């Protein structure tokens, strides 16, 4: 090929670069614009909007818009606001790497339809969402045949393209997307033979168990696992077995379910590859970065929001985090870095599996998100150090606990270096 000299890399400068054009990233971009920052939003797909574009069921926006919208309606509202905010954005643009040059200079290297760009920014808001867990991560073996989809893939096929991926379906895992897709298959005339869940309780919200499975007489096999997928070209059947309390297969309990399609809904993991490469500290419990109350990672000026931070069960929380990260980015740009604080650790107490953020200042209002390890009824959710205590009829791992602490809460703190979230049974 004959060229006219070298392929020039264009260099651009922004206050903040938002990576990821889903709900968290869009909300973050809008907020940074409201605060007067020069922002660039980057998305690798050809449209902005992220996952809600394919979520045609209601349940979105109950907190944020105080209205029950479908995912598609929710994201369109947010997109309209983004257009109003006149945010610069790039679609079909792939982030190749992030470089942490110094406190005030980060580089996002991207490949865009108009060439390779080197985008410099003082702050980055990382909102790349999550990826679906793969079938090999959950120990399902067997033939590599046609007809195996993740729940998200099935959703794209059915609810964007209008294609039914199969007629006789087994769903592995009972996360919300899996339950919602089981209903979609049933509504479109397929037979959902079973939803197979290894744990003794469902992975998704109870509302979805009732309205997606019970309504359509779809059996939920708790304490079961799919051991093997069998087929020649296309899935022909799966082998299912019971598991004991240590989730080990009980020999002799195997049985077959004939089907032509397997849907894997094994949960989500934060997408953090680019952050890991630059050494951002990761919390094994959330799978996302360790953050302070501005949702700033261990690399100053790099913020994270949405499912890349922690797997949320409501889009409203992802948006809230996007806005929180944007406030952080604004403060960083204005003050040449976030004010240094004596950080208070947020510690996991009894029956708490994960919490974000991990550090707070105790000076400003803060929202804590937590999940329990085990379902439990009749409990108090407590933070003893700040005298916080609310009663709950029940907690479940699938339902995130959201706690808002106001500056008043910190006035009479009984510890100066930690607060503990815990769940305790009511006597």
Partner 1 sequence: MKELELYCIMCPASCTLRVIVKDREIQVYGNQCPRGVEYAKQEVLEPRRHVMSVVRVKNGDMPTVSVVTRSPVPKDCIWRIMEQLAKIELEAPVEIGDVVIRDICGTDIIATRRVKRIELL
Q: Which positions lie near partner 1, rule CB under 8 A?
A: 53, 56-58, 69-70, 72-73, 76, 158-162, 187-189, 205-207, 209-211, 215, 375, 377-378, 392-396, 398-399
Q: How far is the CB of 181 from partner 1 (least distance, A)?
A: 12
Q: How far is the CB of 45 from partner 1 (least distance, A)?
A: 13
Contact between residue 24 and residue 308 where contact means Cβ atoms under 8 Å apart: yes
Cβ nearer to partner 1, comparing 37 with 368? 368
Angle in degrees, CA 324, 327, 331, rounded to 5: 145
Q: How far is the CB of 176 from partner 1 (least distance, A)?
A: 13
Q: How far is the CB of 301 from partner 1 (least distance, A)?
A: 36
Cβ nearer to partner 1, comparing 53 with 98? 53
Q: How far is the CB of 81 from partner 1 (least distance, A)?
A: 14
Cβ nearer to partner 1, comparing 71 with 147? 71
Cβ nearer to partner 1, comparing 3 with 189? 189
- The string of DSSP letters for 291-303 reads -BTT-B-SSTTEE
Cβ nearer to partner 1, comparing 202 with 301? 202
Report the distance separating Cα 383 and Cα 405, nearest Å. 10
**Among all chains, which residue has been given the structure tokens 């107490």?**
349
Q: Token pair for residue 216?
A: 């359509």
**Among all chains, which residue has been given the structure tokens 């976030």?**
338
Cβ nearer to partner 1, comparing 30 with 79? 79
Contact between residue 210 and residue 187 where contact means Cβ atoms under 8 Å apart: no
Q: How far is the CB of 86 from partner 1 (least distance, A)?
A: 20
Kind and range of the H or E element at 420? strand 418-425
In 139-264, where does DSSP find H-type helix? 151-159, 176-187, 206-208
84 Cβ contact list (under 8 Å, min separation 6): none
Q: How far is the CB of 355 from partner 1 (least distance, A)?
A: 17
Contact between residue 278 and residue 163 where contact means Cβ atoms under 8 Å apart: no
Cβ nearer to partner 1, comparing 158 with 263? 158
Report the distance separating Cα 369 and Cα 321, nearest Å. 10
Instruction: Supply the angle between the helices 23-34 and 315-335 in degrees, to the nearest 10.
Output: 40
């Amino acid at each position: 090929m004959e060229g006219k000299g070298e392929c020039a890399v264009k260099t651009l400068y922004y206050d903040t670069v938002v990576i990821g054009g889903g709900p968290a990233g869009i909300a973050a971009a809008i907020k940074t614009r409201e605060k007067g920052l020069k922002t660039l939003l980057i998305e690798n797909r050809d449209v902005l909007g992220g996952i809600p574009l394919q979520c045609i069921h209601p349940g979105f926006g109950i907190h944020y818009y105080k209205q029950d919208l479908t995912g598609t309606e929710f994201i369109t509202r947010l997109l309209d606001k983004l257009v109003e905010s006149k945010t610069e954005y790039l679609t079909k643009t792939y982030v190749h790497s992030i470089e942490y040059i110094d406190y005030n200079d980060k580089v996002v290297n991207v490949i865009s339809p108009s060439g390779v760009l080197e985008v410099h920014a003082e702050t980055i808001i990382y909102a790349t969402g999550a990826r679906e867990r793969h079938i090999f991560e959950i120990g399902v073996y067997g033939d590599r045949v046609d007809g195996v989809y993740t729940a998200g893939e099935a959703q794209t096929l059915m609810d964007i393209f209008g294609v039914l991926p199969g007629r006789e379906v087994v769903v592995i895992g009972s996360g919300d997307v899996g339950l919602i897709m089981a209903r979609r298959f049933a509504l479109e005339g397929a037979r959902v033979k079973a939803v197979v869940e290894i744990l003794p309780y469902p992975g998704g919200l109870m509302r979805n168990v009732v309205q997606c499975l019970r309504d359509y007489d779809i059996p939920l096999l708790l304490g079961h696992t799919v051991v093997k997928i069998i087929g020649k070209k296309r899935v022909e059947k799966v082998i299912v077995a019971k598991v004991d309390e240590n989730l080990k297969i009980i020999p002799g309990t195997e049985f077959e379910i004939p089907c032509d399609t397997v849907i894997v809904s094994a949960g989500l993991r934060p997408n953090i590859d680019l952050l890991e490469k630059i050494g951002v500290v990761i919390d094994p419990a959330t799978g996302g970065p360790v953050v302070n109350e501005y949702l700033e990672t261990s690399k100053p000026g790099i913020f994270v929001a949405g499912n890349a931070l922690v797997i949320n069960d409501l889009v409203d929380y992802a948006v809230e985090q996007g806005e929180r990260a944007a406030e952080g980015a604004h403060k960083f740009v204005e003050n040449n870095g976030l004010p240094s604080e004596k950080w208070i650790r947020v510690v996991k107490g009894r029956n708490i599996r994960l919490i974000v953020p991990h550090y707070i200042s105790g000076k400003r209002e803060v929202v804590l998100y937590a999940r329990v390890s085990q379902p439990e009824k009749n409990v108090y959710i407590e933070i003893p150090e700040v005298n916080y205590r609310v009663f709950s009829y029940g907690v479940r791992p699938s339902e995130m606990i959201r706690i808002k602490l106001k500056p008043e809460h910190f006035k009479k703190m009984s510890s100066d270096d930690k607060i503990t979230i815990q769940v305790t049974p009511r006597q």
